[in-house]
Structure 1
Amino acid sequence: MRSIFFLIGLAMLWAGAVQAQEPAADYDDLVQLHEELREYMVPGFTAGVVLESGARIGEVYGDEVMAAKLAGLDRFEARLEAMPVEDWTRAEQVDFLAVKSILNGYRFNLEVLRPWKRDPGFYLDPLMRVAFSEVSGESADIEELRRQLRLVPPLLASARANLTEVAGDFADLALYNLENSDGVNHYHPYRAVPPAGIIGWYDDLLERSRAARPDLARDVVAAREALVAFRDWLEAERPRMTAPAGVGAERYDWYIRHVRMIPLKASEMLVLAEREHERMTAALALLRHRNRDEPELELSRSAQEQAAKIAETDAIVRRFLVEEDIVTVPDFVGELGSNTPYIERPGGPNFWEQIQFRDPIPDHLHAVIPGHRFDAVLAARDTRPIRGRYSDGGRAEGWATYLEEALMLAGATRHSPRADEFMQIFGIFRAARVPADIAMQHNRWSVAEAVAYMRERTPWLDEDVARVDAEIYLRRPPGYGIAYTIGKLQMDALLADRASQLGEAFGLREFHDEFLAAGRLPIALIRYEMTGRDEEVALFWETPPIPAAR
């Protein structure tokens, strides 16, 4: 890459000037590069920018604009390669690789993913949040809502010109989400009968506006009409929207290694996930035998009953974490809520609710404490310029998934033997996601085929939860679906490494505290920093070109 850089005329002059005028790069230069890179790239991929662009989609996401943005990454790559990282401390080298992964990810987004051309949902996702807005707030909030509503028609009209390479699965998902509730409703305002998709939520907003703020109704109607027109356009164009949604096998492996910095190929992850699925399915059968005389746990029958279960679970978990020296819980960690609200569904509880409404502890460990919400509270206080602003999905989901079985084995569920079964069911679902994620990204399975596969292999898994998961893993940058099981296995390996290194001096609380203090970096980087073992990070120093499309 560096030699190519110096062959480019203007870039050669720029690089020469840098070399002549600046001292050799040191760690402070890495921090500066990181700041400049964030400023250069991040605003172009946020939901706020998508909405604010309105009729200026072509100016923000046009082919020439994005090609120039892609070409501009060359100078960041050249600066990064020139840094004498071999002379740095291990912690500084880890930060270097973290910045390298960010830069590689931006290149992949611009060169391969290109959601502004391939995915109608790229433009629709921000509009759902507009429909959730309250209409009884302060005047300034109402005016901001009015301004956002007026951006919807020009945004969707100009998006059509940009969507020239739409993937069939992306078009189908967009059409479904425009007219249907996803059946999961994560982070949606509660409705006894969920609105029918994005268009339905604008109907909901219109009803609330007519009751509380009639002056908003005209703008809501115009936004809704724009959504209907966009749906009609998608339906008419769908026969021509035949591009593949996945990135392909070679590009998937490139992304997993050089962006997610997981030292495995898809073929290796498939073997590991299949073994985990077998192991956990067998463990579930053994636990059911063990618990054969235990009473079945009943579903909560009211929000009050579920709230009481959550409060009791939270107290049990916090006491366990402290008394059993599992992890340090700082005084500033207060109430963290719950991840699964009580909802009464006409068709009965979904997959998550089948477990959570019986015993909240599996998801409480994963998503509340010491999982995601606890993790986020600690991360919010991290002021380090690189690590404090980095959040890797494999690290987040790997840590949270590891906690399920690890803390079960450490004794967190002694009070609830049936909860051990639920831990295995969670793990079975995580393992089933791996082949689904990979097959969709390899363009071997459609979303429907991935849904069918996961449902066949996971107890209680319903159509809606499976479809929402498949959509997330196909539409997010590659490798999120594998992050749970593979990240959990990386955590297991790190625990084994550290316990072997320290022997009798090993302590679980100290291990967890050290891991969390490293930041939300890829687990392979944290492993290098904690253990000094470098066989995994040796795969990350050199970044080959992204493979051509096949």
Structure 2
Amino acid sequence: MIGKYFALPLATVLALMVAAPLPAQLTPESSAQPALEQMFADWRAFVRASPANAGVASDYGADAMARKLAALPEWRARSARIERTGWPQQAIDDARLIDAEINGFDFFLRVLKPWARDPSFYATVFADQSDVPAHEGPSAEPNIDLWAFDWPLSSADDRKLTALLRTVPDTLKAARTNLAGSQAGDLWRYGGRSFHEQSETLDALAKGTLTLRSLAGRRPATMTGASAALRRAIAGARTATDDFARWVEAEAPGRRGPSGVGKANYDWFAKNVQLSPYDWDAQQLLLQRELDRALTSLRLEEVRNRALPPIAPIDDPVAYARMAQAKTRKFNDFLVATGIVPDRPYFRAALEAQTSSYVAPADRNFFSHGSALDPLPLLSHSTHWIELARLRHEPHPDPVRRTAPLFNIFADRSEGFATAMEEVVMQAGLYDDIPHGRELVWIMLANRAARGLASLQVQANEWDLATAGRYHAEWTPRGWSDPASRLVGFEQLLYLRQPGYGTSYIVGKLQLDHLLATASYDADQRRQSFSLSSTMAEILKAGIVPPALIADELNSR
């Protein structure tokens, strides 16, 4: 019954939270399809843009992209030639996931065309690890992930990073040619921000003051022992970055065309790439319902708590750190006690490493406003990091599911399930002794619904990003969101650059709600008790697959 309401293939991928082995009948030894696995390996090699030499910039010229597009029919034909008779559901779904990636590359090459439309595509230096399985939004290769290095650098890593940073000037030089015909106005008006941030990162790296965030927590990028060649490469990358930012900002006034993909393209992407059951119109309806529900629930919660003293903010950084650490321990214990995740040392360590830090009032954005009162709501969303910990420590035995899906297909699964966790733990009793904490959960849900609704209007070319930012902020309660803030600009630009990402928080949340609801129904029909822990384990052990595929697999057992 799990798949009953997922008539269309649905979307999203990755990020496993629970340690549970695959059923014996689905282990790679008994069900792996060699032809499919070989195709997957070959496909990933084909999609990759970076040359074998890490010191060479990738080619995003028109001819190179045209050759990639021309090759896609053969990839579709190769997939269709693989005989799938008698395959278990997991293998069938692996094939569907690969087909979704082929569709994603098709969309990337025909419609999105970030190398030719989107200046931010060429921002390639990243200080922090994303809390989802891959980079949010499209970016040119090679990605220069500073967080992935051990600091101070070994001699080999010093040479590797030097070679990578030397690609930045060539990448940005080629970008000017590749972007010459772009008229995507908002992508240009907001595009300079990415390069100002990249310049700040490179400047801090050169000075030895850069702090990196990863699964291990926050740590300094120590430049002790860095070679002169690396320092020159950093300086050259920064100069090229600053020059490119100035060029983008000078060009922006003359680029006046639409930036969204339009409703028809959005619907095609949702159905064929994200594998989502919901098109643009359905997503608008669902997000509006969640915004209404969140705001109404917030106000009723405030009435319920009217006689209780408010949460007292902690203004001392040391005292705040003690409180935040205690909250992280409380949350880890709660996850284990309720059976939402098993007790694994590295799961606990993953969240402990992301414990909230004190932010001064003048520096707070939407998220730090909430965390100043109680870190638990945002920590609930940070179960992202539990998923990343499992990817590292318990990689999926199926090679198709061992790595993140391309083209942000993971968004509904990763962002949606993390958003769902905020309300799941609330309803399971996390805030029974801190009622005002429930108010923060509803505020976060309202914010996610409002920004998702705004992103839909931008993709439909009904609103520009400035209008989207105002709506996003105005419908966020308590004045915690500022349309002029770096955060709002970053979020709305990301949601423009990657269709479906802005809505994934709510759309994916609703799909997890449906999986839990249908599991409840099935338990009732079997006259069995519903078990949250076993249900979550069944849902999450599927690995890197969209919720609709999870539904198919649960229904087949």
Q: Name the TM tier (shorter chain).
A: 0.7 to 0.9
1:303-342 alignment, distance < 5 Å: 303-330=317-344, 332-336=346-350, 337-339=352-354, 341-342=356-357
Task: Give 1:258's aligned amino acid.
Answer: N
Name the CA shift for 1:321/1:145 in 2 (closer, same or farther; >3 Å): closer
Corresponding residue for 2:415? Answer: 397
1:164 partnered with 2:180: yes
The structure in which a higher percent of residues are helix is 1
Q: Aligned letter for 1:525?
A: L
Match of 2:266 among 239, 252, 259: 252
Higher relative contact order (CA 8 A, sep 6+): 2
Report the secondary structure of 1:347's partner residue.
helix
Structure 1: segments with no counterpart, 5+ residues: 1-25, 180-196, 534-550
The partner residue of 2:539 within 487, 491, 515 is: 515
- 8 Å contact 1:396–1:520 — kept in the other structure? no
Corresponding residue for 1:199? Answer: 199
The 1-side partners of 2:529 and 2:104 are apart by 39
- Superposed displacement of residue 140, structure 1: 4.2
Contact 1:284/1:421 (CA < 8 Å) preserved in 2?
yes
**Aligned residue runs from structure 1 range 179-198, under 5 A:** 179=196, 197-198=197-198
Q: Relative to structure 1, is the Cα distance of residues 346 and 501 closer, same or farther in structure 2, using a 3 angstrom cutoff? A: closer
After superposition, the Cα gap between the structure-2 partners of 1:418 and 1:512, relative to the gap in structure 1 and judged at 3 Å, is same
- Cα distance in 1, alignment partners of residues 529 and 420 from structure 2: 22
Counterpart of 1:63, as a letter, is: A
**TM-score, length basis structure 2:** 0.79
Indicate the residue corresponding to 1:11 in structure 2: none
Answer whether contact 2:468 2:492 (CA < 8 A) is retained.
Answer: yes
| Aligned length, in residue pairs | 481
Give the equivalent residue in structure 2 for 1:286: 300
Once the two structures are TM-superposed, the CA of residue 507 in structure 1 deviates from its matched residue by 0.8
Query: Compared with structure 1, are the counterparts of its residues 79 and 282 closer, same or farther at alpha carbon in structure 2 (3 Å cutoff)?
Result: same
Residues 194-214 of structure 1, C-alpha deviations (whole Å, 9 max, x = no match): xxx333444444555999879
The letter of the residue matching 1:31 is: E
What is residue 432 of structure 1 aligned with on the other side?
A: 450
Amino acid at match of 1:430: R
| Partner residue, 1:28 | 34
Structure 1 residue 452 displacement after superposition: 0.5
CA contact 1:199–1:227 (8 Å) conserved in 2: yes
Give the root-mean-square deviation of aligned CA atoms: 3.0
1:532–1:136 CA distance, 2 compared to 1 (3 A): closer
Question: Is the 8 Å Cα contact of residues 340 and 356 (structure 1) preserved in structure 2?
Answer: no
| AA at the equivalent of 1:174 | G
Check the 8 A contact 1:339/1:363 in 2, yes or no: no
Return 5+ residue gaps in structure 2 as ranges.
1-31, 128-143, 210-222
User: Offset of 1:322 from its aligned partner?
Assistant: 2.9
How far is 1:453 from its partner? 0.7
Question: Which residue in 2 is equivalent to 1:498?
Answer: 519
- Equivalent residue letter for 1:32: Q
1: CA distance between counterparts of 2:298 and 2:520?
Answer: 27
- Change in Cα spacing, 1:254 to 1:340, as seen in structure 2 (3 Å) is farther
Residue 152 of structure 1 pairs with residue 185 of structure 2: no
Q: Secondary structure at the match of 1:383?
A: coil
Amino acid in the other structure paired with 1:480: Y
Q: In structure 2, how many angstroms separate the alpha carbons of the residues matched to 1:280 and 1:237?
A: 41
For 1:161, give the aligned amino acid. T
AA at the equivalent of 2:199: I
Match of 2:136 in 1: none
Distance apart, 1:138 and its partner CA: 4.2
Residues 215-254 of structure 1 mapped to structure 2, 5 A cutoff: 215=228, 219-254=233-268
Q: 2: distance between equivalents of 1:339 and 1:452? A: 30
Is the 8 Å Cα contact of residues 247 and 442 (structure 1) preserved in structure 2? yes
Counterpart-to-counterpart distance in 2, 1:38 and 1:214: 34
Work out the CA distance in 2 between the residues paired with 1:37 and 1:219: 33
Matches of 1:218 and 1:259, distance apart in 2: 42
Q: Match for residue 122 of structure 2?
A: 123
Q: Secondary structure at the match of 1:164?
A: coil
Q: Is the 8 A contact 1:130 1:145 kept in 2?
A: no
Determine the C-alpha separation between the residues in 2 that align with 1:50 and 1:178. 25
**Distance of 1:406 and 1:131 partners within structure 2:** 34
Deviation digits for residues 405-458 of structure 1 (CA, Å, limit 9, x no counterpart): 122111122121111101111111111122112111112211111111110101
TM-score norm. by structure 1 comes to: 0.80
CA distance in 2 between counterparts of 1:241 and 1:225 reads 24
Which residue, out of 457, 472, 488, partners 2:509?
Answer: 488
**Correspondence for 1:19:** none
Identity of aligned residues (%): 31
Deviation, structure 1 residue 219: 4.7
- Partners in 2 of 1:327 and 1:213 — Cα distance? 41
The aligned amino acid for 2:387 is D
Is the Cα contact below 8 Å between 1:340 and 1:353 reproduced in 2? Answer: no
Alpha-carbon contact 1:398-1:484 (below 8 Å) kept: yes
Greater Cα shift, 307-316 or 484-493: 307-316
- Whether the 8 Å CA contact 2:359–2:368 is kept in 1: the answer is no
Tell which deviates more after alignment, 489-498 or 92-101. Answer: 92-101
Question: How far apart, in 2, do the equivalents of 1:443 and 1:51 lie?
Answer: 38
Structure number, greater radius of gyration: 1
Q: Deviations over 1:149-185 (max 9, x none)?
A: 4433333222211112332212222223434xxxxxx
**C-alpha distance in structure 1 between counterparts of 2:262 and 2:507, whole Å:** 20
